[in-house]
Structure 1
Amino acid sequence: QEQAASVEQQFAAVQETAATVDEITHSGAQISKRATEVIATAQATAQTSRQGLRAVSDTAKAMDAIREQAEAVAGNIVSLSEKTQTVGDIIETVNDISERTHLLALNAAIEAAAAGESGRGFSVVASEMKLLADQAKAATSQVRGILGEIQRGINTSVMLTEEAVKRA
């Protein structure tokens, strides 16, 4: 009876041990499954991070290209501004010439009038010189107005380019 009781205890202990082993095996399988899921998630996260880094790098390169282009545009705008200044200087010279020509035409008209009949031909030339001087003066005024508009456009372009560079 003692031996039977001992065998029954041992049998119960073996069954309990077998149940524990089954639980441990089942837990191990669950842990392995979860570990596999964690590895897959970590790999997906790493892949997404690499894609994100590439996207950031590509964006930085694109922003550098935009900055370089904006700087090139700014350089062209400065060059245009300098050229409009040069054209303005030329217009000033043409305006001076037209004013002097106007005075010469006036003096020639006075001299032609003083010469009487023999100065009539000279009077026609003086009148034409005055007309040309007036036309030159009007044209320089128009060109000066256009240059002012161009300069305002250039200034606006400079500000827009600077803002674009800052945004980039």
Structure 2
Amino acid sequence: APRKQIETAAGRINAIDVAAPIAHGTLGVVHVGMDWGSIERTVQGLRRSMLLWSAGVAAIAIVAGFVLAAAIVVRPIRSLTRVTTDIAEHGDLTQRIEIDSTDEIGQLAASFSRMVGRLSAIHGSLKKSAGVLNHSVVQLGSSTDEQEKAFGLQAAALLQAQATAQQIKDGSVRALERAGAVLKAAERAADLGRTGETAIETSFAGLSDIRGQVAQIAEQIGSLRTWIDQIGRITETVKDLADQSNMLALNAAIEAVRSGEHGKGFAVVAREIRLLADESIRATARVREVLGSLGSAIRAAVSLTEQGAQRMEAGLVQVRTSGESFRELSSSVARTRDVVRDIAAAVDQQHAGIDAIFGAVTEVTANMGQAQTRLSGTVSATAEVKAVSNEILAILESYRV
């Protein structure tokens, strides 16, 4: 209730207003006078007494709290400290914390127990994984060793293949050069064939002309024979010279036979005929025999001319046959040239293919070298992983679960 001062007959006093029913339930205000000084002194005394009592109770509570803390907090914390020390120094994850309280310390101990259990589970899983990793690393090391050996063999095989490809490439270059030389030779042979064919045709034409001239000579000799027959009828009066003329004509025939076609003996015969003619002027008796010998010579010349014509005809047949054979040979050479040209083109294509193969083998060899380098890096990395795995296993072996 609010305090106030009111005026009374006795003077001003301290009072408080208190609501109270006055009549028929109607509220009114009752002024209650009080000695505020006395009340305040009493309150101050009570306040000092309560402070003293509170201090005593607080001291008792503090002492009791320390005692309870020693019993409830310190022992569990010591237990936690012992367990953590064993775990940290000895790796003993088999430690268990026996704290039954449900307060914060108990919750901390329970959480720590769960953490230790979780660490034990993680230790087992990690140890298993490390074992699997170590086993895998060992297998990987074996595989990489085998791969390294295989790569070494493959690299050696590739080097040998590269050397073989180089030899094949060199052989292909030589084959290409030889094919070019053969093609040039075939071209020259084809040109010579065409030239020879032209020469044979020219020879055939010349022999045909000679055959015509021989035929004309035969006709002229036939005319001469007619004249000889007429002269023979005239020289019947010169029978006395027949023996000597016959001998000279015989000698002329022998010379003509020895000389063959060239008729070297005809000069001698002609000379003798002139002599006989001179002698015939002096002695017509010789004319008959000279005419007889001349007739024999003419007959021999006709025979030789006919034989020459036959031989010329046979020669023409042979030349014609040779021309046809040479023409066939020229055609065969031309076909051979075309085949050689195709072979040269094929060898050129083969050389291009071999060159491409050599380039591919060279590139594969380079890639194999790079692969060997990478494999060496893999082997080093595998060794490092194995070392790390062994370290992890050694660390895990230091813990007891």
- TM-score normalised per structure 1: 0.73
Q: Which residue of 1 aligns with 2:313?
A: 148
Q: Does 1:88 align with 2:253?
A: no
Matched to 2:310, the amino acid is: G
Q: Does 1:164 align with 2:329?
A: yes
Give the whole-Å Cα distance in 2 for the aligned partners of 1:127 and 1:45.
86
Give the whole-Å Cα distance in 2 for the aligned partners of 1:22 and 1:125.
120
Give secondary structure in 2 for the equivalent of 1:95.
helix
8 A Cα contact 1:94 1:136, kept in partner: no
Give the whole-Å Cα distance in 2 for the aligned partners of 1:10 and 1:142.
113
Q: Which residue of 2 aligns with 1:68?
A: 191
1:9–1:137 CA distance, 2 compared to 1 (3 A)? closer
Q: CA deviation at 1:147?
A: 0.6
8 A Cα contact 2:207 2:312, kept in partner: yes
Two-structure CA RMSD over aligned residues (Å) = 3.2
CA offsets, 1:57-101, max 9 Å, x none? 222222223323333333332232222222212211211111211
8 A Cα contact 1:102 1:129, kept in partner: no
Give the whole-Å Cα distance in 1 for the aligned partners of 2:197 and 2:300.
36
1:43–1:110 CA distance, 2 compared to 1 (3 A)? same
Max Rg structure: 2
Which has the larger share of helix? 1
1:74–1:10 CA distance, 2 compared to 1 (3 A)? closer
Q: Does 1:38 align with 2:203?
A: no
**Percent of pairs with identical residues:** 12
- TM-score normalised per structure 2: 0.35
State the number of aligned residues: 165
Matched to 1:144, the amino acid is: A
Q: Which residue of 1 aligns with 2:262?
A: none
Give the whole-Å Cα distance in 2 for the aligned partners of 1:13 and 1:85.
101
Task: Return 5+ residue gaps in structure 2 as ranges.
Answer: 1-119, 238-283, 334-401
Q: Which residue of 2 aligns with 1:103?
A: 226
Map 1:115-126 onto structure 2 (within 5 A). Answer: none
1:9–1:110 CA distance, 2 compared to 1 (3 A)? closer
1:161–1:11 CA distance, 2 compared to 1 (3 A)? same
Q: CA deviation at 1:10?
A: 4.9
Task: Return 5+ residue gaps in structure 1 as ranges.
Answer: none
Give secondary structure in 2 for the equivalent of 1:165.
helix
8 A Cα contact 1:101 1:130, kept in partner: no
8 A Cα contact 1:108 1:126, kept in partner: yes
Q: Which residue of 1 aligns with 2:85?
A: none
Residue range with higher mean Cα deviation, 41-50 or 3-12 = 3-12
CA offsets, 1:86-131, max 9 Å, x none? 22122112111112112222333445669xxxx8676566545544
Give the whole-Å Cα distance in 2 for the aligned partners of 1:136 and 1:54.
62
Match of 2:151 among 28, 32, 41: 28
Q: CA deviation at 1:141?
A: 0.5
Give the whole-Å Cα distance in 2 for the aligned partners of 1:122 and 1:20.
127
8 A Cα contact 2:197 2:330, kept in partner: no
Give secondary structure in 1 for the equivalent of 2:159.
helix
1:107–1:43 CA distance, 2 compared to 1 (3 A)? same
1:30–1:100 CA distance, 2 compared to 1 (3 A)? same
1:10–1:67 CA distance, 2 compared to 1 (3 A)? closer
Q: Which residue of 2 aligns with 1:54?
A: 177
Which has the larger share of strand? 2
Give the whole-Å Cα distance in 2 for the aligned partners of 1:132 and 1:111.
19
Q: Does 1:133 align with 2:298?
A: yes
Q: CA deviation at 1:139?
A: 1.9
Q: Which residue of 2 aligns with 1:79?
A: 202
Give the whole-Å Cα distance in 1 for the aligned partners of 2:146 and 2:298.
111
